[in-house]
Amino acid sequence: MRVVQERLAEIAEHGPSSLRGVAHAYVGLALSNAGRLVDAQRHLQAAITLQPRADVLLVLNEATLVLAYLSLVSVQLGELDRADEQIKRALAESEADSVMGRAHILRVAAMVEAMQGRPARALALSEGLVKMQAKYDLLGFTSSARIIRAWATAMRRPTRRCVVEIRRALVERDERGERSEAPFYLMLLAEVYLRGGQPDGAVAATGEALSQLQSSGGHLCEAELHRLHGEALLARRRRRRSASRRQQDDQLGSEAELSFRRALEVASEQGARLWGLRTAVSLARLLRDRGSHAEARDLMAAACTSLGDRSQSVDVAAANRLLLELDRHTARRA
């Protein structure tokens, strides 16, 4: 596989013009899964520039699909306004695409909304995809749509049915050999477990996803998986907390901190500023609760500055609120 990627990279840079756009697209997707987000963004942007819009659609408009995947990369890089622009364009262009092309864009758009933590939008997109699948019998799309639909539903009202639906769809994807995006869907499952007050399930889901990444050599959503693992450990500690288990509680807190710090390392290595911001919030809250307000404040100040995105996203708002709280605490102590 590595030899193939190297050959595609060579074609992307020095091959015939008719092949360079396609090569850039495949290299960009491979780099995205490998966690090399900045390089992935460069290749996907080059693919869009080099690939002409199709005059006659046979299966799908590749340039539009690349634009949608570019949005996925932009989200993780923390370029949230740009990601919204890109996926909005891709959705608009896909209205003139083939049924298969439109379905691909709806699926990626639902993933973008789920990454940004916007369940209402993800629900609308996933339900639209489920309806398309029922009408046109599009094999391979329904399991993805059902997972995201169950996640979006659980963010409003978690039920056991949501967990069962996601697990069933994951099995279906695995039976078809569709494993490259499994860590992303396990990430959503972990969020559903956490929302439903089931930290043990979340620990298992994140552990399964991280194990898959290790065995495959991929890095999709790796930092966020480490963060969610830490959050699940803290949730487990809160549920088990008692005087007789103080030592075990301290151990869970330490393990959670290690997960958060590992998530920060991975996010920094990958340039994944959105995951880095979320992790900074999680770790800063833990430090604050321990009384380490100064360290928490410095961490949040650096995270908010590094993002540089002024969008009104849920994550940016949460980070700004926490930074304001820590600033006020510092002012009172001065």
* Packing angle, helices 160-175 and 142-156, rounded to 10: 160
Q: Could you state, in order of their start, the residue ranges of all structural domains in the chain?
A: 179-271
| Nearest by Cα to 76 from 115, 25, 117 | 115
| Radius of gyration of the chain measured on its C-alpha atoms | 21
CA distance 321 to 300: 10
pLDDT attached to residue 291: 93
End-to-end CA distance of the chain: 58
pLDDT attached to residue 243: 43
| Nearest by Cα to 130 from 114, 140, 145 | 145
pLDDT attached to residue 253: 87
Across the chain, which has 334 residues, the per-10-residue mean pLDDT values are: 60 70 88 94 92 52 92 96 96 91 95 96 96 84 93 96 96 90 97 97 98 92 98 91 58 93 97 96 96 95 78 86 93 78
State pLDDT tens for residues 90-119: 999 999 888 989 999 999 999 999 999 999
What number of residues does the chain have? 334
In degrees rounded to 5, what are phi and psi of residue 159? Answer: -140, 160
pLDDT attached to residue 180: 86
